[in-house]
Amino acid sequence: MTGTHLNWSPCTGCACPNHHLPSHDFPPDRHTLNDPNLARLTRSNDEPMEGEIATLRGMISTYEAEILDINKEESHLEQFISDMKNRISLAQQKLDALCHERNHISKAIIERKGLLHPIRRLPAEMLLRIFRSTIDFPISRSHTKGDNQWEFHPADNMLWSIERVCKRWRTGSLSFPELWSFVNVVITDSNFGEDPRGIAYVRRLGMQLARSKLHRLSLSIWNDSSHSSFNSLPPALAAVLFSISSRVECLHLYLHTIVFSKIPSLHLSMPSLRKLCLIATDGDTSNDVEELDLFHCPLLRELHVIDVPNAHPSFTLPWTQITTFTSDHALYETRAPGTEPLPLLLTMQKLMALETCKLRLELQSREVDFTGSYPLSCSNLRVLDLSSWHYKDELPIKQLAERLTLPALTELRVSCLSGHPDRDSKETFTSIRGLLERSGPPPITIFHFDHGDMREDDLLYIVRECSILEVIHLTDVNGDAITDQMHRLLTLGVNGTTPLVPRLHTLRVSGTMSFDMQIFVDMVESRWTLAHAQSPPVRRLDEVNLCRFLHTEHLDEPDEDEVERITVLSALDVYRAQGMDVTLGTKAQE
């Protein structure tokens, strides 16, 4: 800072009157009439004597002189106050100037520190990771119950903004073709019109593809039916696809059935395609689509279909080499219910190499329609994820599970009647037990079951026979199936008894609980404290999550039994301090 420093400090020894104001001590009785003769006059109307007149006139003269002195002193003090105000105003101006200068200096410091920011020294590989995180691919979507169509949310490609930040970021973004290889295309009349806007959209699309160089492409295409009159792919887009089809590795198509039906006429070849996602945005492929040969894709391994009830008869694809298959559909209130077990089983029958499968069901198939040989054995399937929407009293998961044998299954997740207040029937869980029993049991390590009722003997079978289970999630289930007997079977001892599920490390349970909390706590404690004493060794129970569903009155004012349960469960707090991940909670019963 330039200028003279103001080294001000209070004056402590100077005799200057500016710093040592005169002290005035005015006794309150200084002007009282102490002379009895004069005091007498104040109480009467007598004429004062000549001596008293002289005394009174002398007092008046003295007082008038004092008033003159006071007026003079008052004037001096007013001048002093005015001077001090001027000095204070000047000091405030200097203070404001100092604050203003400090703000300028602080901004300068921030600016200089910015020049030293580590982001300026980030290696190109780190910039790649940062820039990659800004890419929104594929076009995001959502669906609200009651809507008759999906909502898609296309976002601008942030790379066009990133490249304008600075020269280094532009160079960095252009140095990695993979950044530009994620391409979202929205079909609208304006984007693919012949006016300047349409030309600009196609030009930018071409620029992005050029910047991707020869890198493998991930491409998503959505036909925005509310702003598009196209019943087939726009000619400009078709021309683009011809030029890049050999590089497309991942493809998402969100199209109406009629647009799907026009794709085979293009005779596209996609020799690098490994992942394909198809969404029928009108949800009507079963009526108008049959054996559509969309394109040649000899390397296809992943297939995800949404709102396509009959995937196998609808599309001609290399089914025998697909390893991952997903079939999902939204819950519509006014459209026909979604997928049935039979079409899915017919599709799975063609998926000879299937390893991972995720299915959502809603309807049962008619029993008379099952004319093939069941149960269907999927010898390579390792991961199965089943879920269902509620429709009347139908049990589609049961119908599907009863017709499968999965000898290689390692992960099974079942979520019943998603979003519905009622749990699924016990028959569904019994069919899951039957699937596992029929399969060997398989080498299953992860088992999730959500929002369904269970039978005790079915659950005990799984615990007894699926010996290498590592993760068990039983969420939103009936409490009478999870019994004291099961917890005693899971409790470790020192008597040489062979422990059940020795690899179990994660246990999550939620629902209405009727078992003895002390027996549950004893089981958890044993699998933490006695795991090392088993032969062969048993893995510690690292994570325990228990959520008990209670009626509202028990949440507001716990009764004596509930207080006792809380006290018993609190014994697990000591193991939380030792490293166990313990979560204990309650939820209002719906």
pLDDT digit string, tens, across residues 330-356: 877 766 667 889 999 999 999 999 999
Is residue 92 pLDDT above 60, yes or no?
yes
130 and 84 in a common domain: no
Q: What amino acid is encoded at 287 in this protein?
A: N
Are residues 206 and 324 both part of a single domain? Answer: yes
Domain membership flag for residue 513: no
Helical H runs in 143-195?
Answer: 159-162, 167-175
Are 206 and 102 part of one and the same domain? no
Domain boundary (313, 336, 359) is at 336
Assess contact for 535 and 502: CB atoms under 8 A.
Answer: no
| 155 and 283 housed in the same domain | yes
Decide: helix, strand or coil at residue 414. Answer: strand
Section 440-465 average pLDDT: 94
Intra-chain end-to-end CA distance of the chain, in Å = 69
Percent of the chain with pLDDT over 90: 48
Residue 357, pLDDT score: 97
pLDDT exceeds 80 at position 387 = yes
Among residues 318, 336, 354, which one ends one of the domains? 336
- pLDDT tens readout for residues 277-295: 999 888 655 555 678 899 9
Taking phi over 0 as left and psi of -120 to 50 as alpha, with beta for the rest, 511 belongs to left
251 in Cβ contact with 280 (< 8 Å): no
The answer to whether residues 82 and 168 belong to one domain is: no
For 220, list phi and psi in degrees, rounded to 5.
-125, 135
Residue 229 shares a structural domain with residue 93: no
What's the pLDDT score for residue 465?
94
CA 573 to CA 584: how far, in whole Å?
Answer: 10
What whole-number distance in Å separates Cα of residue 414 and Cα of residue 402? 14
Burial of 398 (0-12, 13-18, 19+ CB in 10 A): buried
Domain residues for the domain of 126 are 121-336
Q: Is residue 331 part of a domain?
A: yes
Same domain, 106 and 78: yes
Residue 549 has pLDDT above 80, yes or no: yes
Domain end position, chosen among 84, 116, 148: 116
Q: Is residue 377 part of a domain?
A: no
Q: What is the average pLDDT score of the chain?
A: 86
385 to each of 143, 178, 208, 333, 400, how far by Cα in Å?
Answer: 20, 32, 37, 24, 12
In a domain, 178, yes or no: yes
**Per-residue CA distances from 72 to 69, 324, 387, 452 (Å):** 5, 103, 99, 99
Closest of 313, 265, 306, 310 to residue 291, by C-alpha: 313
- 97 and 223 part of one domain: no
- 417-442: average pLDDT: 93
Q: Which two tokens stand for residue 233?
A: 């792919």
Per DSSP bridges, beta strands 404-405 and 411-415 are unpaired
Instruction: Pick the range with the lowest mean pLDDT from 6-10, 237-241, 444-448, 527-531.
Output: 6-10
What is the pLDDT averaged over residues 126-138?
85
Beta strands in 157-301, from DSSP E residues, in sequence order: 182-187, 217-223, 248-255, 268-269, 275-280, 295-296
Q: Tell me if 159 is assigned to some domain.
A: yes
Answer whether residue 483 is part of any domain.
no
One domain for residues 200 and 285? yes
Q: How far is CA 434 from CA 246, 438, 450, in A?
A: 46, 6, 17
Q: Which residue has the higher pLDDT, 159 or 414?
A: 414
Predicted confidence at residue 4, as pLDDT, reads: 47
How do residues 47-77 score in pLDDT, each as one tens digit? 888 888 888 888 888 888 888 988 988 888 8
Would you place residue 44 in the very low, low, confident or very high pLDDT band (cuts 50, 70, 90)? confident
In a domain, 365, yes or no: no
> How many structural domains are present in the chain?
2
Q: Are residues 92 and 220 in the same domain?
A: no
Q: Does position 505 have pLDDT exceeding 50, yes or no? A: yes
Question: pLDDT by residue (tens digit) across 153-210?
Answer: 888 888 888 888 888 888 888 888 898 999 999 999 999 998 999 999 999 999 999 9
Return the closest-CA partner of residue 262 out of 289, 243, 241: 289
Tell me if 271 is assigned to some domain.
yes
Whether residues 140 and 241 share a domain: the answer is yes
Three-state secondary structure call for residue 295: strand
| Model confidence at 554: pLDDT above 60 | no
On the question of pLDDT at 412 being above 50, the answer is yes
450-463 as b/e: b if 16+ CB within 10 A: bbbbbbeebbbbbb
- DSSP conformation letters of 481-537: GS-HHHHHHH---SS-PPPSSTT--EEEEEE---S-HHHHHHHHHHHHHSGGGSSS-
Is the peptide bond preceding residue 441 cis, with omega within 30 degrees of 0?
yes
pTM of the predicted protein model: 0.78
Does 213 lie in the same domain as 112?
Answer: no
> Which of 155-159, 424-428, 498-502 is least confident?
155-159
pLDDT at 20 over 70: no
Asked if 493 and 530 touch (Cβ cutoff 8 Å), the reply is: yes
